[in-house]
Amino acid sequence: MNNSIKDYKTTHFEYKSLDKVHGAPTIESLLRLFRQLKRNAQCVPTTLGGGQLGYLALVLSDAAYDAIPNSAPFVRPSDPGLLVITGSRKDDIEQQKVDYNDIKHNYNECQAVEQALRKQLIEAIPAEYLDSLRNTDTDMIHDSIPAIIVYLQTNFGRITDQELSDKEDEVKTCSYDLSTPVDSVFNRIKAFQDLCVLTGNAKTDRQLVQLAYLVFNKTKAFMDSLKAWNAKLLLDKTFANFKIHMREEHHALRQVGALTIRDSEFSQANMIQQLTDHQQQLTKESNLQLASTMQENFSQAINMLQNNTIDSEDLPSTQQANNISDTTVSNTQLLAFLKTLQNKVDRLESKTPSPTTSNTSTINPRTGKEFKRYCFSCGCCAHWGKNCPKKKSGHKDDATFKDRMGGSNDNCMPNRT
C-alpha cells in the first residue's frame, strides 16, 4: 500500500487558507475559523468514525463529537511501530502485512490531516497570541486543535452567559420570510450551535428542534405542518428529520400557491419596523406637528398590516377605480398602499425644518399654533431649558416664560404667557 503523505490542504480542503485574524482574536473571528476548520476536516474521507464525518473529530472536543446524532465513535489510530511477524504460514504472514499497512496508513493520514489543520490555524492567528503554547524545547505547538481553540476562546474570545443568552433570544425571536428557503432558519440555528459548541455550551439535538419549531410556529402558514410533526414518534423528532419535514412542507405550500405576503410574519414585521423607525425619526425633529399629523397614518398602516385588511378608500385612486374589496387585500394592493404612504412621508420630511437651522419658532403639538420656547440660559429660543446644549451656571430646567426664575430675557416679549 502507498503510504506517501498527501498535501491535504491543496488536494482536499475547501479553504486553502483560513481567514486571517488582525489583532487580538474575538469570539466572532474564532467562530469563523472554527467553522472553516470543521469544513476542511470533513473534506478528507476516511473509514474512521464510520466514515460519515471525515476527520471532524480532530476539530471538535470528544463530548461535542459524541453528541452528534448517529455518529460512530472515532477511535484515533496509534502508531503500530515496527511490523512484528508471528507464525510461519505464508497466508498468515501476508495478512499481517496487509493489516499492518492499513493501520500505519490510517495513523500517518490522521497525523498529516491534523498537522495541516493545526498549521492553518496557527497561520491565521498573530504569533503573539499563540507564543505561550509553544514548547520551550522544540518551539513548536503540539497541542490538539480543540485545545488551541479553547485556549484562544478562554483568553481572548470570552462571551458572557448573558451575551450567549441574548444570542439565543435573537434566534427565538427572528422572523421567517416565506419567500426564502426554510434552510435560512436552520442555517441560523446551526451558526448559533457552532457558537455554543465553541464556548462549551452545546445545545442538544432536541433543543435545536425546539428553537426551529418556535420560529416556524410564528408563521401561520405552517400550522398544519407543525401538527403533522407533533404526531410523529419521539425517536423520529430529530433536527435532521425536522429539516427534511419542513423542506417538504414548504415545497407543498409553494405548489398550491399558499405562500403570500399576508402569511409572512417576516414581511409584516419588517414593514412595521420601517414605519416605526420613520415615526421615531420624525419625533426627533423640531416640527412636532408633523410627527403628530403622521401618527394616525402610521397607526392605521400598522393596524392594517397586522389584520391583513385595507379599506378601499385608503388605497390609491387607481385601486379605487377597480372596486377593490375592503376585506383581505393582495400582495400588490398592500405594497401599493405602503408605497403611497412612504411617498407622503418622504415629501413631508423634506419640508420639515431642521432643528439646527431654525432658532425662531416651533409648533405646539397640542394647539398646532406657533409659539416660542423659553430657556433659562438662552431666553426665547428654539429649545426648552431642559434640552439646552449650553447651560450656564445655576441653570434651571423648569424655568418658563411665566416664571423665568431669574433667567435670561434675551429675545423675550413682556408678559409672555
pLDDT tens sequence across 351-383 = 555 444 434 445 544 445 555 688 888 888 878
β-bridge mates for residue 379, sequence order: 375
257 pLDDT higher than 50: yes
Q: Could you tell me the three cell numbers for 356?
A: 439646527
- For 273-325, the pLDDT digits (tens) are 566 666 665 555 545 555 555 555 666 666 665 555 545 444 444 444 444 44
For residue 332, CA distances in Å to 111, 266, 364, 382 come to: 60, 17, 38, 44
Q: Answer whether residue 163 shows pLDDT above 50.
A: yes
391/143 Cα distance (integer angstroms): 61
Query: Which residues, listed in sequence order, are joined to residue 14 by a DSSP beta bridge?
Result: none
Split at pLDDT 50, 70, 90, the class of 88 is: confident
- Check pLDDT > 70 for residue 235: yes
Average pLDDT of the residues of the chain: 81
- H helix intervals, 174-238: 183-198, 205-217, 223-230
Mean pLDDT of 20-29: 95
404 pLDDT tier (thresholds 50, 70, 90): confident
Q: Please indicate, yes or no, whether the overall pTM of this predicted structure exceeds 0.85.
A: no
Residue 344's pLDDT is what? 66
Cβ atoms of 146 and 63 closer than 8 Å: no
- The better pLDDT of the pair 21, 397 is held by 21
The set of cell numbers assigned to 238 is 430529530
pLDDT greater than 70 at residue 350: no
From residue 182, alpha-carbon distances to 134, 225, 240, 366, 410 in Å are 45, 13, 13, 48, 64
Is the separation of the CB atoms in 110 and 48 below 8 Å? yes
Calculate mean pLDDT across residues 167-191.
Answer: 93
Does residue 143 carry a pLDDT above 90? yes
At residue 326 the predicted structure's pLDDT band, cuts being 50, 70 and 90, is very low
Bridge partners for 362 per DSSP: 371
**Separation of alpha carbons 376 and 385, rounded Å:** 6
Which H or E run contains 374?
Answer: strand 373-375
> Percent of the chain beyond pLDDT 70?
71
Query: Given a cut of 60, is residue 40 above it in pLDDT?
Result: yes
Q: Are residues 375 and 362 in contact, defined by beta-carbon separation less than 8 angstroms?
A: no
Q: What is the mean pLDDT of residues 82-102?
A: 90
d(CA 75, CA 54): 12
Among residues 303, 293, 285, which one has the least CA distance to residue 344? 293
Count CA atoms within 13 Å of residue 71 on its CB side: 20
Nearest-angstrom CA–CA distance, 56 and 312: 59
Region 245-258: mean pLDDT is 90
- Interaxial angle between packed helices 205-217 and 223-230, expressed in degrees from 0 to 180 and rounded to the nearest 10: 150
All cell numbers assigned to 408: 435670561
User: Which element (helix H / strand E) includes 371?
Assistant: strand 370-371
Provide the sign of the torsion angle of the four alpha carbons 333, 335, 338, 339, taken in this order. negative
User: Could you identify the residue written with the cell 428557503?
Assistant: 181
pLDDT at residue 76 in the model = 94
Amino acid making up residue 266: F
Which H or E element spans position 338?
helix 331-351
pLDDT of residue 288: 52
